[in-house]
């Protein structure tokens, strides 16, 4: 089971993300602010973090900074989920260490695409040391073989 941590202070958005993710077969954990997000990363050890920018206690920028300062979390893919959609915000977010960016209101197919992209990338990076994860090898071969 792939575990995804949703860090988001808005309960309605958290619930929406949980439903979308569980419908796609992911295991979902939740955090309501940035400090709880950092705590839950250690507890749950998620494969991916969806991180709201505007949150109490620690905002998304503070959280991503602490994650990127931690060598143990170097491979953790982090996607910003935010309504900050003004010109330049996307660049600022990506320069802060996020791997991806989703704007609110959330587009479910963009969410799926972003998760597929980052989890495939992570699986390939993690699989380089031990090559016995069947299925994953086939997926990678198929993906690199088809130009479509
Ligand atoms: Mn928020």
C-alpha 31 to ligand 1 mean position (Å): 11
C-alpha 4 to ligand 1 mean position (Å): 18
Work out the average pLDDT over 85-90: 73
Number of H helices, E strands in the chain: 6, 5
C-alpha 52 to ligand 1 mean position (Å): 6
3-class SS of residue 49: strand
**Boundaries of every domain in the chain:** 3-145
Q: What Rg value do the Cα atoms of the chain yield, rounded?
A: 15
3-class SS of residue 14: helix
Q: Residue 85: which pLDDT band, with cuts at 50, 70 and 90?
A: low
Query: What is the pLDDT at residue 129?
Result: 57
CATH classification code of 3-145 = 3.40.50.2300
Q: Please name which of 110, 100, 61, 57 lies closest in space to residue 77, comparing C-alpha atoms.
A: 100
Q: Residue 148: which pLDDT band, with cuts at 50, 70 and 90?
A: very low
Q: Residue 51: which pLDDT band, with cuts at 50, 70 and 90?
A: very high
State pLDDT tens for residues 101-124: 999 889 999 999 999 999 998 888
Query: What is the pLDDT at residue 132?
Result: 45
Q: Is 74 exposed, middle or buried (0-12, 13-18, 19+ CB in 10 A)?
A: exposed
DSSP 97-132: T-SEEEESSP-HHHHHHHHHHHHHHHHHHHHTS---
C-alpha 64 to ligand 1 mean position (Å): 15
State pLDDT tens for residues 134-144: 444 444 444 44
3-class SS of residue 2: coil
C-alpha 108 to ligand 1 mean position (Å): 18
Residues with CB under 5 A from ligand 1 (ion): 9, 52, 54
CA atoms within 13 Å, Cβ hemisphere of 89: 15
């Amino acid at each position: 089971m792939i575990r995804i941590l949703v860090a988001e202070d808005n309960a309605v958005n958290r619930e929406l993300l949980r439903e979308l993710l569980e419908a796609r077969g992911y295991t979902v954990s939740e955090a309501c602010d940035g400090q709880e997000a950092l705590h839950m990363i250690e507890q749950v050890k998620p494969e991916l973090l969806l991180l709201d920018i505007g949150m109490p206690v620690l905002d998304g920028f503070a959280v991503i900074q602490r994650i990127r300062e931690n060598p143990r979390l170097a491979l953790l893919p982090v996607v910003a989920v935010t309504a900050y959609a003004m010109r330049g915000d996307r660049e600022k977010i990506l320069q802060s260490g996020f791997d991806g960016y989703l704007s609110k209101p959330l587009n479910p197919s963009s969410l799926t695409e972003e998760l597929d992209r980052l989890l495939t990338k992570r699986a390939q990076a993690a699989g380089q040391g031990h090559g016995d994860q069947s299925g994953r090898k086939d997926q990678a071969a198929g993906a690199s073989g088809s130009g479509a």
